Structure 1
Amino acid sequence: MDLGLSGKTGLVTGGSKGIGLETARLLAREGVDVVIAARRPDALREAAADIAATTGRQVRTLPFDVTKLDDIERLPDFIRRELGHIDLLVNNAGTGIYKPFLEVTDDELLHGMAINFFAQFRICQRVVPLMKEIGGGSIVNVSGATGIRVTSAPMLSSCTGPAKSAEIRFSKVLASELAPFKIRVNCVVPGYVYTPERYALWERDIVKRQLSAEEAETERLSWTSNQGMLDTHWGTPEELANLIAFALSGAAGYVNGAVLVADNAMDKS
């Protein structure tokens, strides 16, 4: 599908794996000049090589920690130097902490807000002025299901859920404020998405040990049923990338301030 994105420039945070990687791949395939940003230079190199091999297009890489103000402050100069301008921003970097409320440390609370909500707020503050200079742009903030629903044990989210909720509210407020400048802001809310690194995180935080393939599948099916999904279908990074690219594109030109939920009809009660 031609989304009319050819010739645009864009930045994808958390772009070395999972949803971020597949979004960057799809944008590159659509003709976008893409920068992928993530903490680990080796993972970025692997991701860039993978995208080049599958799309025939090169992407730029930016070693970047969304929790570090120094990294965020150098974004505008990097964008001007490497891209000239920026049309598209995908705030995808983020993670979760799945612990009982009374076990969450103050450091974990601060990190949970910094890597999720604070990162999106701060990055938008640095990128939006560049979009205003060119007369418009499109932003997608990626949140998570814990931002709109309460998850039961073992997927406890007293720390992550409020940060994800803040991302959703922030996206709606920002969309209203930036609409006069022709900058659209939408929020994509994934449910459970099949990514190996997220599975590893859940297994480490929840089960507290490495699982065999059979044990892991049993645990995942149990998590699915406990969280109220109608069946055992988990989303894929590719499916979320399709939604993000659509939201960024002119095909969604009348979609602004939307909360686009992709969670296979999880129970939201």
Structure 2
Amino acid sequence: MDLGLTDKIVCITGGSRGIGLATACGFAAERARVIICARNKDRLDEAVGRIREATGVTVDAVQTDVTSTADIDTLVQHIERQYGRLDILVNNAGTGIYKPFSQVTDDELLEGMSINFFAQFRTTQRALALLQKAGRAVVINVSGRTALRGNFPPGSSCTGPAKAAELRFSIDLATELAGYGIRVNCVVPGVVKSDDRFQLWERQAIGGDLDKQATDAVRQEMEAVSVPAGQGWGRPEEVADVIVFLASSRSSYVNGVALTVDGGPHNKSYVTQLYARPPAQDKK
């Protein structure tokens, strides 16, 4: 299926790994002109090489911390100088903090809102003029299932509200920007297999890294009790395919929706399963 994305200008935040990297590969395969950004330059450089190897396309990479308004301004200025417009903005950068409400620090609260909701708001606002220049532009905000469901234990009182704000922001923005011909949708992933994200959750749960020999066994055990037999947690590519489709003209009548991509409401969270079975004996 030709999605009509050839030469579309696409910017993906958090594009160096996980869903962001898979999404960049998806757009590159459609021959879009892709800009990826992330905080870590080494990861960005590695991602550029991986995308080139997978698709034969060289993407643009801009080192950007989306919690910094100065960095966001630099990113937007780069896009304006190099491309003159922006057809598709994928606000993918984000993270999760899981701990009991009483233990969330003020710094963690601010970080959770900054890298999730504030980043999406600020990046979209600063890129608005470039999106308007494109005509029929698309914004896709990536949220998370904690926007809709709690993770207890250990608790998602910090991350959940930030993710919920992304969802609510998307709905409101879709109405406000419809007059400019700009569509806005929100993708809400469930558990998606990512070594970086899994390692973060494991460190938070046990206070350190899992022993390498135990890592696969623990994850397989958790997956077996979290999803129905024959199924599994998601892969980044499965979410990326949805994002690429929503950015295309094939989904032109889809606007202002929050689309959950989680394998079904019956699937359990890896975070919750980790805390229900603290793997202390597997700690390094």
TM > 0.5 fold call: yes
Q: Is the 8 A contact 1:187 1:257 kept in 2?
A: yes
* TM-score normalised by L of structure 1: 0.94
Corresponding residue number in structure 1 for 2:167: 168
| Cα deviation, residue 87, structure 1 | 0.1
User: What are the equivalent positions in structure 2 for 1:182-201 lying under 5 Å apart?
Assistant: 182-201=181-200
User: Any idea what the Cα deviations from partners look like across 1:234-265, whole Å, max 9, x if unmatched?
Assistant: 10001111000001111110000111101111
> 1 CA distance for matches of 2:163 and 2:256?
16
| Cα deviation, residue 67, structure 1 | 0.5
User: Any idea what the Cα deviations from partners look like across 1:141-181, whole Å, max 9, x if unmatched?
Assistant: 00001001112214x21100000000000000000111111
| Cα deviation, residue 224, structure 1 | 5.2
SS of the residue corresponding to residue 110 of structure 1 reads: helix
Range moving further from structure 2, 76-85 or 105-114 = 76-85
Corresponding residue number in structure 2 for 1:266: 265
Q: Does 1:50 align with 2:50?
A: yes
Equivalent AA in structure 1 for residue 197 of structure 2 = R
Corresponding residue number in structure 2 for 1:254: 253
> 1 CA distance for matches of 2:150 and 2:214?
25
* Structure 1 residues not aligned, in runs of 5+: none
Aligned-pair identity in percent equals 49
Q: Does 1:19 align with 2:26?
A: no
User: Any idea what the Cα deviations from partners look like across 1:19-44, whole Å, max 9, x if unmatched?
Assistant: 00010011011010000000011111
Aligned pair count? Answer: 267
Corresponding residue number in structure 2 for 1:116: 116
> 1 CA distance for matches of 2:26 and 2:42?
21
Q: Does 1:107 align with 2:107?
A: yes
Corresponding residue number in structure 2 for 1:126: 126
SS of the residue corresponding to residue 53 of structure 1 reads: helix
Corresponding residue number in structure 2 for 1:7: 7
> 1 CA distance for matches of 2:133 and 2:184?
17
RMSD (CA atoms) = 1.8
> 2 CA distance for matches of 1:145 and 1:215?
27
SS of the residue corresponding to residue 259 of structure 2 reads: strand
Range moving further from structure 2, 16-25 or 77-86 = 77-86
Q: Is the 8 A contact 2:86 2:131 kept in 1?
A: yes
User: Any idea what the Cα deviations from partners look like across 1:211-247, whole Å, max 9, x if unmatched?
Assistant: 1355334544565578x64456110001111000001
Corresponding residue number in structure 2 for 1:144: 144
Range moving further from structure 2, 27-36 or 215-224 = 215-224
Q: Is the 8 A contact 1:13 1:38 kept in 2?
A: yes
SS of the residue corresponding to residue 74 of structure 1 reads: helix
Corresponding residue number in structure 1 for 2:33: 33
Q: Is the 8 A contact 1:229 1:265 kept in 2?
A: no
> 1 CA distance for matches of 2:147 and 2:26?
26
Evaluate the alpha carbon distance shift between residue 133 and residue 143 of structure 1 in structure 2; reply closer, same or farther with a 3 A threshold.
same
User: What are the equivalent positions in structure 2 for 1:40-119 lying under 5 Å apart?
Assistant: 40-119=40-119
Range moving further from structure 2, 87-96 or 259-268 = 259-268
| Cα deviation, residue 191, structure 1 | 0.3
